[in-house]
């Protein structure tokens, strides 16, 4: 009986040792290690080449646009701009214009006063794809 409990504890210890192994890191599909921080529509985004993201609505007449880089990360080298990094532009193609986000509903209610007000809003976005950080 003592042998059975010893074998059981040995199997449990081996199981715990196998469970604590670190998981393999998933492969990332980033073209280069160069990243930049851009500012548009009052928001800042950390972008890489080939990345697609939704930003606030841009000028609908354009097909491609460029942004100034506030910060550039190239491997181990980091360049911080004051306010932007000199000579670095981030180019992007506009994929889709005027994409509507989910509706946000604001409700105003005062109990016992017959005051009920409902207001809705759908923010419009532009989908862009970062083509080049140079």
DSSP state of 75: T
Q: How far apart are CA 99 and CA 44, in angstroms?
A: 19
Q: How many domains does the chain have?
A: 1
Contact in structure between 72 and 85 (CB atoms under 8 Å): yes
DSSP state of 44: E
Q: What is the pLDDT of residue 33?
A: 78
Task: Provide the whole-model pTM.
Answer: 0.67
Comparing CA positions, the residue from 50, 56, 65, 61 lying closest to residue 129 is: 50
For residue 72, what are the domain limits?
Answer: 31-99+125-133
* Residue 7 belongs to a domain: no
53-98 per-position pLDDT tens digit: 999 999 888 899 999 999 999 989 999 999 999 999 999 999 999 8
């Amino acid at each position: 009986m003592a042998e059975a409990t010893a074998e059981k504890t040995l199997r449990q210890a081996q199981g715990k040792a196998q469970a604590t192994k670190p998981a393999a890191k998933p492969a990332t599909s980033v073209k280069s290690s160069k990243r930049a921080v851009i500012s548009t529509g009052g928001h800042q985004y950390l972008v890489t080449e080939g990345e697609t993201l939704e930003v606030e609505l841009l000028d609908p007449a354009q097909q491609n646009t460029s942004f100034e880089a506030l910060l550039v990360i190239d491997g181990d080298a980091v360049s911080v701009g004051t306010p932007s990094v000199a000579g670095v532009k981030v180019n992007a193609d506009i994929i889709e214009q005027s994409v509507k986000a989910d509706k946000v509903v604001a409700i105003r209610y005062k109990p016992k006063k017959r005051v009920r007000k409902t207001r809705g809003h759908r923010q419009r976005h532009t989908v862009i794809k970062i083509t080049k950080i140079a």
